[in-house]
Each structure stands twice: as C-alpha cells, then as structure tokens.
Structure 1
Amino acid sequence: MKPLFPPSRDTRRSCGTSAAVILGLVAGVLAVPAAAQDNAFAPELRIDQDALLSGDYPLSKVLESGQQYFNVPFTPAGADASGDGLGEGHGGPRSFQRHAFWPYPWPAPMTDLAMTDAELNYLYEFPFVKLNGLGATSCFDCHSSIGTYTPPNQSGPGMVRKPGTPGGAGGFSTNAFVNSEYPARAVMLVRNPPHIFGTGYTNALGIEMTTDLRAQAEVARLVAQNTPGTAQSIALMSKGVDFGTFSTTYDASAQTFADDTSAVSGVSGDLVIRPFQWKGIASSVRHFVRDALDFHFSLQAVEKVDSVDCDLDGKSAEVSVGSVSALTAYVAMTRPPTQEIPTGQEMAVANGEAIFKGSAASVVALNPPAGAEAMCATCHVPKMPLDKATLTIFTPPDAGVTAESQCPDETASLINALPPDVPVESLVVFEALFPQVVSDARVQAALGAAGATPASVWQAMEPVLDMLEVGDLLAAGNYQIDLSVAEDPSLLPHLFPRLAANADGSVDVPLYSDLRQHNMGAALQDPASQGSDVAGIAIAPPIFVTRVLWGVGDSGPWMHDGRARTLTEAILLHRSEGSEASDVINVFSQLQAPDQADLIAFLESLRLPLPQTAQ
C-alpha cells in the first residue's frame, strides 16, 4: 500500500527502509532522460563570478547567458545530476503538498510498482504544485504577454499579440498562488505576474531613496547624541516623496538611542524602500531572482543554500553565483516602457494626462478634496530623478548553510528573508556612503554649529551625498552596468532604447510611482500578511506599494491578483473602506464619460515596446 502521508524531510530517515536504499531508488527513478532538450544552464553559457568581476566577459555575453536562463525551459536533474535541477526529489520540502495536489499513484519504495517501473516512478510523483510554487518551467512561462497590436503592412485593423518579447506581464491563467497552508486552505495570496521592463532603473531609485531616508535618520541620531535627553526629529523626504517623521532620543548613561518610527509612513521601520512585488517585499532584483528560482522551479542558488541538496533532487549547487548575476543583469537591463500615442488621439491623451495630474479644467471644476488635488499623480508620480545611472549587481555573502537542518522553509512565502543582522543591498550602499559623507568638513561644521538641528545638518549633508560617486565606492567585488549604456549592435535588442541621460549624468525615470506603501482598502486586501526580504518585517494585508504605471497599457489584466479585466475596473477597485485612494476615485466617478475615456486613452498610451525587428 502507498503511504497516506509520504515521508517529510524530518521523518524520512526514521522510516523502515534505510536512507541508503531510498536514496538509491531515487537515483534510479531520476534516470528519465530530458529527450533532446538541452539544459538551460548550458556549459558554454555559464558565467563564473570571479571571471565576471575580473572583467573577462563583455556585457553581451553576460546578457546572452541571462537571456537563455530566462527563456529556455529548465530540465530535471537526472540520475547523474547532469540536468539543471528543476523540481524536487521524493520527500522534498513540498512533497506532501505535491501529493495533495495530485493524489494518485505515489509508489512507496520497495513496492511492486516501484521495483518494476522504476523509470516511471519519478513521473508518477507529479512534479508541480501550482498552489504553492512549482508552477512553471521557465521565467518566460509567465512573464511573456505584452498586449496587442496591428502588424505593419496589414490591410485591416485586426490585432494580434505583440510577438517575441520576454519580460511582459502574465494573463490570469499564469497567476501565482503563495500558500503555505495548502491543502488546509485552497488560496492565501494570489499574484499576477508583473512586467519586468525598466527594472534596473527602479532598483537604482529604491537604493537612492533608501540612502536618503537612512541618512536623514542618522542625522537625527547625530544631533540627538549632542543633546542627550532631548528628542530630535526630522522629516523623511526623498525625491519629493514624504515618508513621515523620524524621531530619536539619546540616553547618555546607557549610550543608547530610543528611536520612534510611529510617525513614519509609506515605508517599513527599517526605512528600506522595497520597490518589487505588489506589496513591496523585495529591495533588490537579485534577491527576488534568487528566490523566484527556488519558489517556482526548485532551482536552488548556491548563495541561498551553498552546496546542500535542500530539495533532495540529487543535485547540489544548482545555480551558481555567476548564473544568478547573469539572470539578474538580463532582468534589470530590460529596456524601459514607452509612450505611444495613436494618430488622431493626441488631444484625448493630452486631456487624459491632465486629468491624471489633476490640472484638467473638468477636475478643477469639481473642487477635489484635500489630498486628491493631484488626482492619480498624488501617488503615481510621473517621473523621478535618478542621480547616478549605475546599476551595481552585488556579490552576495556565503549562505552559511552546511546541513539540511538549515535549509530554508520552502512553504513560507514567495521570498525567503535574510536574518536581521545581514544587510540588504541598499543598506550595503548606505553603509559604504555614510562614513564618507559624515566626515566631510561641511557636515562636521554643521554638526558643531550652535543650535544645530537635524534639518540644518541635513541641509549641509545632502549636496555632499549627491556629489559622491557611488559606483567608485562599490566597484570592488561587485559587477556594475551603466544604465545609460550606448546602443551597440553587439548587445541584445531588449536593452534599447534606454532613457536619455541629462547633462549631469542623471536620468529622469517616468515610472509613474512614488515607490511608497499605501493602504488600498478592504476591497483589495490580502487574507494574510506577506513576509519581506528581512526577517521580522511583514507587510499587512491592505498595504501595497504604488504600482509603476509605465507599460500599464500592455500589462492587463490588472491589479495584484489580475482580477481587473479593464483599466476602468482597476481604477474603481482603488475605492473601498480604508483606501487612501477613495477620494481620487470619487472624483473620477464624477467625471463625464468622455473625460473618463480620455484618462483611459492616456493610460493605454503607456506601452511596452515591441522588439525592434517587429516594428
């Protein structure tokens, strides 16, 4: 008889059949060949991290490798561990959930079926869950849809899907279900795959904003240290976005600070901007890539589990540090979305943009309430300045995993958290920059001035911080890419066109987001909180980060779970009890139908670009 509950990682070694026999059988059943399909991690495309840091690879090679990893389906490990490592072995961390999802033949070791059909035994163990990851065989499976268009030279107006562009959003059928409790409950968190266009710019903005907020908090601490027992406060602002107020009091006898983040808003208490995923749970592309490989494919990165075979598929060190670097570079360097205004729609789009920003006569006449004057642009900020257009892809620290007991919980969340004492990438940047800034003579003079306040010291510090060449401070030991890289025929077309650089090297990023967390109300809230990339920081059910709107015209269905089938539905879903956007949506509902249509026309003009060869 097959067991009702297959052995878990914690119990399998105490079963009647010895571990050696079980593992031997697993090796036998994993002998199913991958037919004629080659590995995604092909030897000729592997990126060695040390060689990468030494400058041995041209950017074209790095991105071509990342392109392969994103688009080519991964292969199972195989008996000789020659495959990529897709999926889990018998008794892997989600084996119980896989069996609950597909409760059909699951032959126990030493049974007649297992002994006589060893090759098929592996296939009887259904490799997918879908209701808690393990739901695809490549990134492209879900990040592939970029709207419709009319092909050139076509005689009629009929449209087809835009062709050949990896990195788009996903339809409702590609939704991810994050559910640590399956099968106890069917659904917990539902996530529609977002597009990844322009990701590098968003990552860099998040790092710069984190640096601003952390520096402001440290300024308050420095002033508090000079005024023991007196609370010192500072307004937290970055790129024109308000994140509330940070306060602290210094106890000279204990030499400790009592920080008060009760008035901080729109960001977690650690003041780290997390621009990725719908709720803002990831602060870097690399961390999310690392965990997405594991959650969706059970491809476990060395930087996450070292060489421990945590998913028990017979293959360890499944994804090298260099491979994650290449995939991160490919995702991050996907070109940004654009605006395409159809001929004859110029006036409608212009009026829609004015409505979006709250400056249209039709909006002004409605006398919007305080907080809604800027309409959608209140949160969906049209553009932000990126001071330094350099993307640093950090070399991660060793995972420190030496035994199965240290393996991450694969059913916890879409992302596995770092310990609180391991800084995320944006904090690594801050820790590199701040000592340089605070030692500057101008900052020291401001700190020593009579009556110094956090605001006065920050006024002296901000221009010093802006002048520092971040790339130079972070270059050693990390891989860097110029986000403003010039067009080059040797580079993949998915990079271009880039955003134009200003005379000072900065870039205006039209992402249409403040990268701030907001309460979106009862209609959109999740059934549960979602953990972030740092242990102890979870995002509450109604809280979501402002979704970037560049590319929104081609990324339907909309909202975090794909429930909105039209942009009008997506707008209306912003209004419910507790939602910070309700006043804005009330104004939208009062607009005449032609004005509402113009706003939709503006949003539809924010498109994802076609491959250059298809235009």
Structure 2
Amino acid sequence: MISVNRMPGVASLALVLGLQIGSAGSVLADEPWAERTQALGASEDMPTGVLPKDELLRLIDTGKALFEAHFTTLDGVGRPQATQAIDPTRRKHPREQVFFRTAGPDAGSCAACHNQPAIGGAGDFVANVFASEGFESADFDSLDPQFSSERGTNHLFGAGLVELLAREMSAELQAIRGDVLSQARAGGAAVRLPLEAKGVEFGYISAEPDGSVNLDELDGVDTDLVIRPFTQKGVMTSLRQFSINALNQHHGMQASERFGARWTGSDDFDGDGKTAEISSADVSALVSWQATLPAPVRMVPEAAGWAEAAERGEASFTDFGCTVCHRPALPLETLSFADPGPFDLAGTLNDGQVGAKAVYDISLLNWAKDLPRDAEGRVLVPLFGDLKRHVMTDNQIDALGNELLSQRFVDRNIFQTAELWGVGSTQPYGHRNDFSTLNEIILAHGGNGREARDAYAAAPDAEKSALIAFLKTLVIVP
C-alpha cells in the first residue's frame, strides 16, 4: 500500500506496482495496471468455421473491449511517417504530435465517437471527422473544404444485417450482368436488362454479342455492381474495410493486412517503432462485435397521444413518397455473416485470401429472434433505406451539397440513402451533423428527395408533427 504522507521515488514506486521501467515498450500487457491494451492479441489466430454460440460470444466480448479501448503509444498509437489515406502513403514531413483534430489521429478509442445513445452508436457534432480524398496527396493539416469533407459519425447498430443485405444485392446485380452477356451472345444481338435487387432499381445494363458491356445507364451503384453500404457516400464495402480505415485514420493503429510487409515491404510502415499493431485476428474480433450489434427497434414513448400520432405519421411517411428511398424493410435470405466477406479488394482480406473463413450466426443471438419475417421465411430488415446513392440537391435546395471534394469518385451532391432505423436516438442530423431537428433535415432534401420534401412542406403542421412523432419511435435500445 502506498502511503499518502510519503510517496516513494520512481524506482521504488515501480517496485510497488510491479512495473518494469526500462524502455518505453517494456510495460507488460498482461498486468492489469499496464498501459497497453490487453485485448490486443487476445485472439492469436483468425477464427474459422461456423462459431458455436459460446465461442462467438467470447469473440464478441474481445471485439467490444477493443472498440472501447483507449489505445496508447505503447500499442502503436500515432503515425508520424504515414498519412490517413486509404492506400498506405508516407508523409512528406514527420508529424510532431500524436493527435491532430483535422487530419488525425483524432481519437483514442472507437467509442470516443460512436457513443450515442450507447457504445456503437452515433456521434454529436463535436465528434465530426474529416474525410480526406486522395491516395498519394492526403498530407494536410487543414480544415479547408478543398482538402477534406466534414462528416458526422453514423451508428453501427444493425450493421451486420446491412452488410449481409449489401452482399446479397451485389450478387443479384452481378448475376444480371452475367445474364445479359449470355443472352446477347446466344441471340447474336444487343440486349438491355433492368438492374434490380430486392426491389431496388439501379438503372439498366446492356451487352453486345462480342461481350462488350455498356454501363452508361447505371444509377446509384459502382460499375463493378458492388453495393457499398457504409459511410454517408456509400463507399465502404464492409465492416472489415471500415474498421481498418478508421483504425489508421483516427488512431494511427495500422492493421497488418494492409500496412504490413505484404503490401508495404515494412513491418513498421508508419515509423512509430511498433510492429504488428493490429493483427487480422484483432480485426476479426472488432468485426464480430459490430456485425452482431442489435438492430434498432420501434418504441412508442409513454406519452398521451404519441401512439396515435405515430400511426398517422407512418401513413403520411408513405403518402408523401418518403418510402421511395427510405424503404421500411428489405428481405434478407440468411443471417450467417461470413468474415472475411466476398467483395473486398486489395488491402482488406476477402474470403478468397484465407484458408477458411469464419461464420458468425446472428440467429443465435436473442435479439435476432424478434426480427420480422415474410411468408417465405426471409428476415425483413427494418432499416428504412435502400442502400442506393441519390442526388440530394437541385437548383433551389442545395444545403446537402456543401462539399468541394468528391469521395471515391462519387459526386459531391450524391449520398447514400440514410437508414432511418435509430433516427430517434441519433440527433443531430445530416452528413455533417449540422441540422438540429428532423424537420430541418427533411426540408433540406433536394434532388431525388425533392418531391417527398415538397409534399411534407405543403402539409398541415399537425401532419408534419405526426410524421416526426413516427420517426422518433425508431430508436436504438442496446
């Protein structure tokens, strides 16, 4: 016990606490008071096969500990010689401090931004981040919008279901590409087919008998026909990619599968003296926790008249045309979440780069038993979205087109439909959290959302209020 009247010297204090005081990296991670993150390396190998419930829950617990952990310089926080770019990129000038609000690293933990109304949730305006575009030139320390786009933090509840929907929709769209090619070759003439997945239309695709494909009529999806369901722009393919990007940008923690010797030729690409900062097994643990977060639910507050108002508001939500983009539910064939997934590209592991993938069976979790199903047994994921990108501005209403940079080649005024499940728990609103009320963000819809916005704007105040009452029943209950 340390006396409050007489403090020991540094050496004797170290003996009292059982610490080693040699080099900066000598504090042992297996001591409960150590300043390293104990959950790092808790999973030595990537999981494989279908995980039984007890193994899945242990992996989820490890992932949660990593998500909540405040990483330290002993873990590898900071990237003095590396930028925040998606591709591993060297800095032109070494960073003199660990944290930097604009270009990052800007947070000690994932939970520092994802915490509203609980860990894994959204963030307030104060937690906004700055997404830089560019792969070799993302070396800046500026808030100027010509260098970065300010973004709010999205919540992750139900994220595993969203990624599963995106995978199934991508497979459907790519199957149509195969069909149009086969039909053109077999018939010896050009063929044009609609692109549709789970009832969501993504334009048209045409093919010639010689095997050439015309993608000029695509709408709201990339030319590889892969749905990328994460971030406001819809540019992140998977929770795995999202996690690897965020670890580097926000914490300066490099995942070996992207920043290790395989891709960069170095075990310490960022030059901070730490190697193997985040293993592929650590990333798998993080993915398992995010992928199994419960879906948001509907919950009517116990206030007089709220239930009746919400019922009227839900009808108006449809009548105004909001459900054209904010679809109440999309059907999902399976709750088996494979990790790594099938569509990731270089720098993020996919299922073709591992000997055996892991499968996290979401149906084993108690919250999943309450998910609605259709007559065919498919899960109806109540996301109020369509996983499609839309133009969100026009000549009269352009508040959502306030960025100067495109991100991953997606135009500045195009954003993916925001899933509204959980919207009652995640104020403020908009892609940079600068709308304080639901009324304000609805009125900011232009472009593809203009018709529904105008119908709402023209409605009586009581009808508008009822729609807001409905939206506020879509909440996150951890």
Partner Cα distance (1:555, 1:197) in 2: 11
Q: Which amino acid letter does the alignment assign opposite residue 174 of structure 1?
A: A
Contact 2:241 2:348 in 1 (8 A): no
For 1:333, give the aligned amino acid: T
Deviation (angstroms), 1:223: 1.2
Matched with 2:327 is 381
Supply the distance in 2 between the matched residues of 1:28 and 1:580 (Cα, whole angstroms): 59
Say which SS state the counterpart of residue 167 (structure 2) adopts. helix
Structural mapping, 1:235-314, within 5 Å: 235-251=194-210, 257-307=211-261, 308-314=267-273
Within 5 Å, give how 1:344-423 maps onto structure 2: 344=304, 345-358=306-319, 375-394=321-340, 418-419=345-346
Aligned equivalents of 1:486, 1:96: Cα separation in 2? 48
Distance (Å, rounded) in 2 between the aligned partners of 1:546 and 1:97:
38
Partner of 2:73: 76
Q: How far is the alpha carbon of 1:93 from its aligned partner?
A: 4.0
1:530 to 403, 407, 420: 407
Post-superposition offset of 1:234: 0.9
Confirm whether residue 88 of structure 1 aligns to residue 44 of structure 2.
no
Contact 2:180 2:192 survives alignment (8 Å): yes
Q: Counterparts in 2 of 1:526-565, with a 5 A limit?
A: 526-531=403-408, 538-565=409-436
| 1:71 to partner: Cα distance | 0.5
Contact 1:235 1:246 in 2 (8 A): yes
CA contact under 8 A between 1:384 and 1:509: conserved in structure 2? yes
Aligned equivalent of 1:508, options 380, 385, 388: 380
Residue 330 of structure 1 aligns to a residue whose secondary structure is: helix
- 1:586 equivalenced with 2:420 (yes/no): no
Q: Look up the SS of the partner of 1:235 in the other structure.
A: strand
Question: Does the CA-based 8 Å contact 1:209-1:239 persist in structure 2?
Answer: yes
Q: Letter of the aligned partner of 1:384 in structure 2?
A: L
How far apart are the structure 2 equivalents of 1:339 and 1:497?
A: 15
Whether 1:326 and 2:285 are equivalent positions in the alignment is yes
| 1:132 counterpart = 2:129 | no
CA distance, structure 2, for counterparts of residue 548 and residue 352 of structure 1: 18
| Aligned partner of residue 242 in structure 1, secondary structure | strand
Cα distance 1:497–1:74, how it changes in 2: closer, same or farther (>3 A)? Answer: farther
Partner SS state of residue 74, structure 1? coil
1:599 equivalenced with 2:467 (yes/no): yes
Per-residue deviation, 1:394: 1.2
Cα distance change, pair 290–269 in 1 and its aligned pair in 2 (3 A): same
Give the alignment partner of residue 301 of structure 2, picking from 342, 363, 370.
342
2: distance between equivalents of 1:480 and 1:560? 32
How far does the alpha carbon of each residue in 1:29-83 deviate from its partner, in whole angstroms, 9 at most, with x for none?
Answer: 878999945433436x611335545959711110010010001111213xxxxxx
C-alpha separation in 1, matches of 2:348 and 2:182: 21
Q: CA RMSD in A?
A: 2.9
Name the CA distance, whole Å, in 1 between partners of 2:83 and 2:218.
38
CA contact (8 A) 1:52 1:322 kept: no
TM superposition shift of 1:258: 1.7
Question: How far apart in 1 are the matches of 2:50 and 2:452?
Answer: 52
1:61 aligns with 2:58: yes
Counterpart of 1:113 in structure 2 is: none
1: CA distance between counterparts of 2:464 and 2:174? 40
Q: Does residue 1:215 correspond to 2:175, yes or no? A: yes
Q: Does structure 1 conserve the Cα–Cα contact (< 8 Å) formed by 2:39 and 2:66?
A: no
Aligned equivalent of 2:361, options 457, 461, 482: 482
Counterpart of 2:124?
171
Residue 135 of structure 2 is matched in structure 1 by none
- Secondary structure, counterpart of 2:364 in structure 1: coil
Equivalent pair of 2:47/2:284 in contact (CA under 8 Å): no
Check whether the contact 1:286–1:328 (CA below 8 A) recurs between aligned residues.
yes
Q: How many residue pairs end up in the alignment?
A: 429
- Could you tell me which runs of 5 or more consecutive residues in structure 2 were left unpaired when the two chains were aligned: 1-21, 85-90, 133-137, 262-266
Distance (whole Å) between structure 2 residues aligned to residue 571 and residue 523 of structure 1? 11
Whether 2:6 is the aligned partner of 1:46: answer no
Is the 8 Å Cα contact of residues 46 and 280 (structure 2) preserved in structure 1?
no
Q: CA deviation at 1:475?
A: 11
String of CA shifts for 1:302-337, please: whole Å, max 9, x gaps: 111224211111111111111100100101110000
Q: What is the deviation of 1:500?
A: 4.5
Q: After superposition, what is the alpha-carbon deviation per residue over 1:439-495, rounded to whole angstroms, capped at 9, x for unaligned?
A: xxxxxxxxxxxxxxxxxxxxxxxxxxxxxxxxxxx99711111222143xxxxxxx6
Q: Given the alignment, which residue of 144, 160, 170 partners 1:186?
A: 144
Checking the alignment, whether the CA contact within 8 Å between 1:383 and 1:513 is kept in structure 2 is: yes
The Cα shift of 1:183 comes to 3.8
For 2:316, the aligned partner's letter is I
Could you say if the C-alpha distance between residues 300 and 140 of structure 1 is closer, same or farther in structure 2, counting changes exceeding 3 Å?
same
Distance, in Å, in 1 between the alignment partners of 2:61 and 2:115 is 18
Q: Deviations over 1:582-615 (max 9, x none)?
A: 1211111111111111111111110110x4xxxx
Give secondary structure in 1 for the equivalent of 2:244. Answer: helix
User: Do 1:98 and 1:128's aligned partners in 2 also have CA atoms closer than 8 Å?
Assistant: no
Offset at 1:214? Answer: 0.4
2:157 maps to which of 174, 197, 203: 197
Q: Note the 1:141-160 alignment, pairs <5 A.
A: 141-146=112-117
Change in Cα spacing, 1:92 to 1:475, as seen in structure 2 (3 Å) is closer
Q: Which residue of 1 aligns with 2:185?
A: 225
Give the whole-Å Cα distance in 1 for the aligned partners of 2:140 and 2:289.
33
Contact residue 339 and residue 357 of structure 2 kept, 8 A: yes
Contact 1:483 1:498 (C-alpha < 8 Å) held by counterparts = no
Equivalent residue letter for 1:63: I
SS of equivalent to 2:363: coil
Do the aligned partners of 2:102 and 2:143 also contact (CA within 8 Å) in 1? no
Q: Which runs of 5+ in 1 are unaligned?
A: 1-26, 78-83, 100-124, 147-164, 252-256, 359-373, 398-416, 430-473, 488-494, 532-537
User: Structure 2: how far apart are the matches of 1:38 and 1:424?
Assistant: 30
- Structure 2 letter corresponding to 1:131: T
Matched-pair contact (CA < 8 Å) for 2:193–2:205: yes
Equivalent in the alignment of 2:15: none
The 3 A distance-change label for structure 1 pair 184 and 318 is closer
2-side partners of 1:272 and 1:48: how far apart? 32
Percent sequence identity over matched residues? Answer: 31
Name the SS for the 1:477 alignment partner. Answer: coil
Q: Which amino acid aligns with 1:169?
A: A
Q: 1 or 2, which has the higher helix percentage?
A: 1
Aligned equivalents of 2:35 and 2:373: distance in 1?
40
| Counterpart code for 2:123 | G
| CA contact 2:102–2:142 (8 Å) conserved in 1 | no
Once the 2 structures are TM-superposed, how far is the Cα of residue 515 of structure 1 from its aligned partner? 0.7
Instruction: Provide, for residues 274-328 of structure 1, a one-character-per-residue CA deviation record: whole Å limited to 9, x for no partner.
Output: 1110000011111111111111111111111224211111111111111100100
